[in-house]
Amino acid sequence: MKTKTENPSYDHKASSSSYVQYGIPLGRSALRALEKRGIYSQTSISIEHQHLAKRYVIRGVESGGAVSDMGRYCAYLDGDGTPLPWLQPIDSISGNGRHAVVVAPELVRIEMFRIGRTYELAITRHVLKSESGHTKPRITSTLLFRGRDGTISLDLWAQENRLLRGTIAPSFYSEAGELRDIPHSFEAAVKNVTAALNCLACKHVHVAVARSMPRNLLAQA
């Protein structure tokens, strides 16, 4: 996880929370636990220039996976909640790492972290903002939804619950005990990322789609 550092391509005024661009902040113990279990999720994004198209785009990497007691995953949609076609898939031997690269002028990131049956969720929108006097745009990031201490009352990673993956998401509550609804446009993707957090030794994408597939088709677990 990146620490809070100055990034000239990031508009800090878009949000008061530093994790909006870099992802859910995790403590050292959680990061060590993920590393020990071989789970790698790249939550950072970057600005890239397409020379032939003569435009800038944002690059993200769908990545992550799970073991029985822990999971972390990061995936991307376009602005209206539609899964993005990948630029390229990434295969690995061990799993629980990088799965696909996506690029677009605007990205919505779905990031989740699980310990046991407890889930953290952050949905953020990232767009390019041009500024007078600057050739390269900045990334403007906005928090759309933040869920803390969400729960699912069963172990989705268990074989007997495999068929439920991709059909349910954690329940998140306000401090007053009221159920918080996940934005409808992103609900299907959140369910698939929930599945990814319970996909042991994950070696495939859960949200991004192949270019030959319809863009409104979500990958199922």
Taking only the tens place, the pLDDT of each residue in 182-191 is 999 999 999 9
Reduced to 3 states, what is the DSSP secondary structure of residue 184? helix
Q: Alpha-carbon distance 166 to 189, whole Å?
A: 8
Q: Which residue ranges make up each domain of the chain?
A: 10-196
pLDDT at 16: 42
| 110 HSE (CA, 13 A, CB side) | 31
pLDDT at 19: 60
Computed from CA positions of residues 25, 31, 33, 36, in that sequence, does the dihedral angle turn out positive or negative? positive
Q: Alpha-carbon distance 112 to 99, whole Å?
A: 16
- Nearest partner of 190 among 177, 172, 215, 211, judged by Cα: 172
Q: Going by C-beta distance under 8 Å and a sequence separation of 6 or more, which residues neighbour residue 201?
A: 65, 67, 94, 95, 96
What's phi and psi for 184, nearest 5 deg? Answer: -55, -40
Q: Alpha-carbon distance 45 to 42, whole Å?
A: 8
Cβ pair 110, 89 in contact under 8 A: no
Mean pLDDT, rounded, of the chain: 87
Q: How far is CA 151 from CA 67, 104, 168, in A?
A: 17, 32, 11
- Nearest partner of 43 among 150, 124, 119, 145, judged by Cα: 124
Q: Is the pLDDT of residue 80 over 60?
A: yes
DSSP bridge partners of 143: 124
Q: Alpha-carbon distance 179 to 176, whole Å?
A: 9
pLDDT at 18: 56
Percent helix, strand and coil across the chain, each to the nearest 5: 15, 35, 45
Question: In this predicted model, what pLDDT tens digit does every residue of 112-162 receive, in sequence order?
Answer: 999 999 999 999 999 999 877 778 899 999 999 999 999 999 999 999 999
**Helices and strands in the chain: count of H runs, count of E runs:** 3, 11
